[in-house]
Amino acid sequence: MDSKAMDIQIRDMSVELSGLHLDNPVIPASGTFGFGAEFAEFYDLDILGSFSFKGTTKEARFGNPTPRIAECRNGMINAVGLQNPGIDAVIADELPRISRIFHKPVIANISGFSVDEYAYCCERIDKQEQVGIIEVNISCPNVKHGGMSFGMVPESAYEVTRAVKAVTTKPVYMKLSPNVTDIVAIARACEEGGADGLTLINTMLGMRIDVKTRRSVIANTMGGFSGAAIFPVALRMVYQVAKACRIPIMGCGGVATARDVIEMMMAGATAVQVGAENLRNPYACKEIIETLPAEMEKLGIRSLKDIIGVA
């Protein structure tokens, strides 16, 4: 082996996330990776740092009517509607299946439509040995307050965080919506509520119109806009929150390459989630992990831990 190849090999890609050791910072984002089974047919999932499984609610959900997907330049819009088998089925069926294809701690993404539902699901998933981190999606509509999402105002974000932390022992990361005026205020509320970390950003709100039918392409009219086009927005929000809060961040939004991962970490992310790119290219995370050492070598980075928040 030549000296250059050896130098690339000794690049340290590992990170620590609330006491959880990750071999690398690359994590497929919830909603783009299912429960892992489909992607296990393409490559060994154990190369991943971890993965965040499909958003789970108390009851099974069929999701929104179709069509649910609309293509965009440099992105996509989806309105799947949290389709999932429910917390009981995830614990009984999906986690055992995950244990056969992924041999590291997994991230459990939890959604809810009331504070009680969030607490119920988080308390149940907290007891599962395979779960290393609980990721709480507060972009869901609060059914008791007119449908406004829990992540829209600091008070609601704080309330959910406190309720979940009261019934869990594992690290809790609150996943924040970008569809707010002040992302820092929401992040600080979660930190004050006891969150161990944050994931940002979730999808933005978007829409496409079929000019022939003069109707929205999405049956739900609007949906979550994701993909490469939102990367600069996600990067900006990660940077702002990293400067304002002391807890770690999983950066997410438009990440598609190893260089994107490095840029997101320089903005302040400790780990980086890959979302829509998995749907475009099922090998995306594998390719990012494989090319990270070479990118680090080009940029003179010996350890990824050294670049977190350097911007």
Helix%, strand%, coil% for the chain, nearest 5: 40, 20, 40
Q: How many CA atoms lie within 13 A of 261 on its CB side?
A: 35
Distances (CA, A) of 42 to 37, 39, 286: 10, 5, 9
CA distance 76 to 149: 22
d(CA 292, CA 249): 19
Q: Is 140 a catalytic residue?
A: yes
Position 142 scores a pLDDT of 60
> Which of the four pLDDT bands, split at 50, 70 and 90, describes residue 10?
confident
| Residue range 155-214, pLDDT digits in tens | 999 999 999 999 999 999 999 999 999 999 999 999 999 999 999 999 999 999 999 999
| Residue 220, pLDDT above cutoff 60 | yes
- Inter-residue contact 55 to 35 (CB < 8 Å): no
* Residues with Cβ within 8 Å of residue 194, at least 6 apart in sequence: 161, 162, 165, 172
Per-residue pLDDT for 2 more than 60?
no
The tokens of 250 are what?
A: 């999983």
Tokens (6 digits) for 61: 């959900």
For residue 216, list its beta bridge partners.
Answer: 209
Domains of the chain: 3-305 (3.20.20.70)
| pLDDT at residue number 145 | 62
pLDDT band at 1 (very low <50, low <70, confident <90, very high): very low
pLDDT value at position 9? 58
Tens of pLDDT, residue by residue over 235-291, are 999 999 999 999 999 999 999 999 999 999 999 999 999 999 999 999 999 999 999
Active-site residue (options: 140, 190, 252, 285): 140
Query: Which phi and psi angles does 77 have, rounded to 5°?
Result: -115, 135
Pairing of strands 106-110, 75-78: unpaired
Query: Are 171 and 196 within 8 A, CB to CB?
Result: yes
Query: How much of the chain, in percent, has pLDDT values that exceed 90?
Result: 93
In tens, the pLDDT along 99-146 reads: 999 999 999 999 999 999 999 999 999 999 999 999 999 987 665 665
**pTM of the entire predicted model:** 0.95
> Would you state the pLDDT for residue 195?
98
Q: Which amino acid is at 69?
A: I
